[in-house]
Amino acid sequence: MKIMLKAGGFMMLALLLSFFAGCGGNNASVKENNGSEELEAKKELYWHSVPHSFSGQRFEGIFALDDNHVWAVSVNGTILFFNGTSWVAQMLDNRECLFYAVAALSPNSVWAAGDDGQNGIIYYSGGSAWSKQYVSQGNRLQDIFALDSGHVWAVGQNGTIIFFNGNNWTKQASNTTEFLSGIFALDSNNAWAVGDKGTILYYNGATWSQQPILTNGTLSGVTAADPNHVWVSGYQGTVLFYDGANWQAVNSGIYGDWIKDLASIDNIHVWGVGGKGTIIFFDGATWRTQKSGTANFIADVCAVSESSVWAVGDNSTILKYGE
């Protein structure tokens, strides 16, 4: 009888241990699943190279409406379009066109700016073919920005600023002869243009005026989240910030390299790109570097969202920040 009781006790104990072991196994499985879900929810964002088949390009400009509508332009006379799956050439190695910038309002309203070796040029696409829309005599055009169909600006050599009102391109008085390399507009009454010798211009909807000069170096990048959060970048790691009242130099953490261009989503998501594959990011408190995966010069950056940022540069470089 004792033997039977002992055997029964052992059997009960074994069953209990088996039960708890099973529960433990299930719990471990749940934790493991929860862990994978947490990892899934916290996917790492990083810069990676975007493959394409167009070699020998020196890309200078990129613009993305979303991840299915992206344009890249080069000084080799090339305009590429990304449809979400692959890159296609909308213009390829046109020796009469050196493109430095591109801007779009929709898939059927896109501009590219540059020069033909002598004069500044603007090409326009209504959704199919590209055609020349404007010629700026003797003045290369370096950047273009489209706010809406009646407010498009392009800037360039000899202080050139031209404006498109939806019908015609006309010159606007910049009150400077310095080479202008970048332009950005928040709205029709708040726009900034930057250029050589520390030039910063502000447009109030009527006239362009000179802002305080904080550096003698070239400024080339400009972006804004709102009228109280405006950033400008340039040579020697320069980053300037405007808080709505004053301009000040800030520490970019970059010394010696050119921060060629800037892009922002808001005041805590700002990117800068430039020499030797440099990419910097501002989180609202400090600037820090991000690994680009390239040593090539990065010429331009365009931010769609905090998890979708595009950049282009030398040696056919096209990069994307995301998952």
3-state secondary structure of 294: coil
Identify residue 63 by its one-letter amino acid code: F
**Count of H-run helices and E-run strands, the chain:** 1, 28
Instruction: Give the pTM.
Output: 0.87
Distance CA(192)–CA(201), nearest Å, equals 5
Are residues 125 and 97 in contact, defined by beta-carbon separation less than 8 angstroms? no
Q: What angle do CA 103, 87, 301 make, to 5 degrees?
A: 40
Residue 293 binned pLDDT confidence (cut-offs 50, 70, 90): very high
pLDDT at 42: 57
pLDDT exceeds cutoff 60 at 242: yes
Q: What is the DSSP string of 9-78?
A: HHHHHHHHHHHHHHHHHHHHHHHHHHHHHHHHHTPPPEEEEPP-S--S--EEEEEEEETTEEEEEETTS-
Q: Tell me, what's the pLDDT at 26?
A: 38
Q: Which two tokens stand for residue 100?
A: 């430095």
At 178-195, the pLDDT tens digits run 999 999 999 999 999 999
Domain covering 47-322 assigned CATH 2.130.10.10 in the classification: yes
**Domain residues of the chain, as ranges?**
1-42, 47-322
The H or E element that residue 152 is part of is strand 151-156
Phi, psi of 95 (to 5 degrees): -70, -10
89 in Cβ contact with 80 (< 8 Å):
yes
Contacts (Cβ under 8 Å, ≥6 apart) of 9: none
Displacement of CA 208 from its chain's centroid (Å): 25
Strand order in the sheet with 279-282: 259-266, 269-274, 279-282, 287-289
Tell me what the mean pLDDT of segment 136-155 comes to: 97
CA 218 to CA 251: how far, in whole Å?
A: 17
Nearest to 75 by CA among 85, 88, 90, 61: 61
For the chain, the average pLDDT equals 90
